[in-house]
Amino acid sequence: MTLLCCAPFSASATQSQQRPLLLEPTSLHMTTEKSTPDLSNLRILTQNCKLLLVVGEWPVMPITSGKRASLIAERLLKNNYDIIGLNEIFLKEPTAILKRELELNGYHVLSSLPAPSGIFAVNSGLMLASRLPIRASKFERYQKASGLDQYAAKGCLVAELETSDKAGRLFVAISHHQSEGSDEIMMSQFQHAGELIQQFVLERVGDNLAELERATVLYFGDMNVADHLTPKLYTDMKAALSHKTEDCFLTTNPEGTNGATFPVGKETDRLDYIFSLKEFSGVALNGSLVKSVQIDNLIWQDSDIPLSDHLGLIATLQLI
């Protein structure tokens, strides 16, 4: 979605009847057990949080962005994800709340990228949180954008996470792509992301071909591409990210649901993705197995008011 939202949201009557109303966070600063992540069963979440400047009534009942951030933080901690990629977190108070709560509970967090500069000073809206230590990271802003998106520093964040000697190296990248404009601009962003990720991975691995072959590279976030509406753009997007890009939802759900995440309450479009990038410079990457990818309902959890206009995706990754 875009930096600015004007449309109201309404939840269905059925959803309202099924979920209890909850508007107050119940336990901030809850300290979860800082257990070592299970590398055979890593839980990875991507979620658009819609924490941005909103004009009009959204959601249908008033919830401040700070309160929504507190509720999202509480649910993130309760669900005990290992790696979290959040996007559309543009506001300072929600960013501070989420960063504080995640760090207090053992996560390593990257956020507020890039640092504010210029008149508009709106960052990328990205946040990466990991129970695995972050060994190195790099962010680059996309060179092309249009509409309201050009006033935010949208880009790609890529990081290497620390694993054990038994596991291959793990790289994760997150982004929130252009929500309006031409296919040319969209493809420019996908190509930029693909080039950045490949360059980062190859620089980190160096000449060690065996380590590259064992590496895992995941790319996830809100791509703002509906595969059923723009199939050519979807295909071109995957080709731009790497020589072989696996759509992990499709490979783990060959006969399952369509994976639609937007708009919440009447999901018709698959805009959020978890990709595995499987080939760089002619080398096949075979480091891990994405065992499952499913729709995640964190934003509906314990409430009849959604905390975002997107559902999330959760993947289970087997590194060893």
**252 assigned to some structural domain:** yes
Is 28 inside any structural domain?
Answer: no
Backbone angles phi, psi at 310, to 5 degrees: -120, 145
Helix (H) or strand (E) holding 102: helix 92-104
Peptide bond into 263 cis (omega under 30): yes
Provide the domain count of the chain. 1
Q: Which domain holds residue 125?
A: 37-318
Separation between Cα atoms, residue 226 and residue 224, nearest integer Å: 7
CATH number at residue 143: 3.60.10.10
- Residues 6 or more apart whose CB falls under 8 angstroms from that of 36 comprise none
pLDDT tens-place string over residues 125-160: 999 999 999 999 999 999 998 888 888 899 999 999
The answer as to whether 27 is a domain residue is: no
Is 296 domain-assigned? yes
- Tell me: the pLDDT tens digits for 175-215? 999 988 899 999 999 999 999 999 999 999 999 999 999 99
Residue 60 lies in a domain: yes
- Residue 32, domain member (yes or no): no
Q: What is the pTM of this model?
A: 0.90
